[in-house]
């Protein structure tokens, strides 16, 4: 059997990521969050989900990997900086949220496992 062509593999990975974002959004809704943004891209970064619960805004990174440990280790410093840059732009466009608690959350998704939501998974640099 021949390996998949690179474009096919990229498309498969992209679809896997989109499904993981949908699963993560569902998990957050079940936990009482309102998803107020998806795939927000700006300033060289992207926020997978923006969710609100009470007086907290969570900038949520969704990581889908073959297992949960691999997903959890995938938020590296460069990724955190890109998310923080995008979060600053999101806040500038949504000034109503400036007085709320702001947090960097993650949802880890792996086939055959329940998704794991980790509040305050990474530090946001918003200054």
Between CA 88 and CA 90 the distance in angstroms is 5
Looking at residue 14, what is its pLDDT? 83
Looking at residue 74, what is its pLDDT? 79
Pair of tokens at residue 67: 């297992």
Sketch out the chain's domains with CATH numbers: 6-122 (3.40.1350.10)
- The answer to whether the beta carbons of residues 83 and 126 sit under 8 Å apart is no
* Predicted confidence (pLDDT) per residue in 53-105, tens digit: 999 999 999 998 887 777 777 788 999 999 999 999 999 999 999 999 999 99
pLDDT of 2 above 80: no
């Amino acid at each position: 059997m021949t390996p998949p062509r690179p474009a096919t593999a990229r498309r498969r990975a992209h679809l896997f990521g989109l499904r993981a974002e949908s699963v993560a959004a569902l998990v957050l809704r079940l936990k009482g969050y309102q998803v107020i943004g998806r795939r927000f891209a700006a300033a060289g970064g992207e926020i997978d989900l923006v969710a609100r619960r009470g007086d907290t805004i969570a900038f949520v990174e969704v990581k889908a990997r073959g297992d949960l440990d691999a997903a959890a280790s995938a938020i590296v410093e460069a990724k955190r900086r890109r998310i923080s840059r995008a979060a600053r732009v999101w806040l500038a466009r949504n000034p109503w949220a400036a007085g709320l608690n702001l947090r960097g959350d993650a949802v880890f998704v792996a086939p055959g496992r329940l998704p794991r939501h980790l509040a305050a998974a990474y530090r946001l640099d918003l200054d």
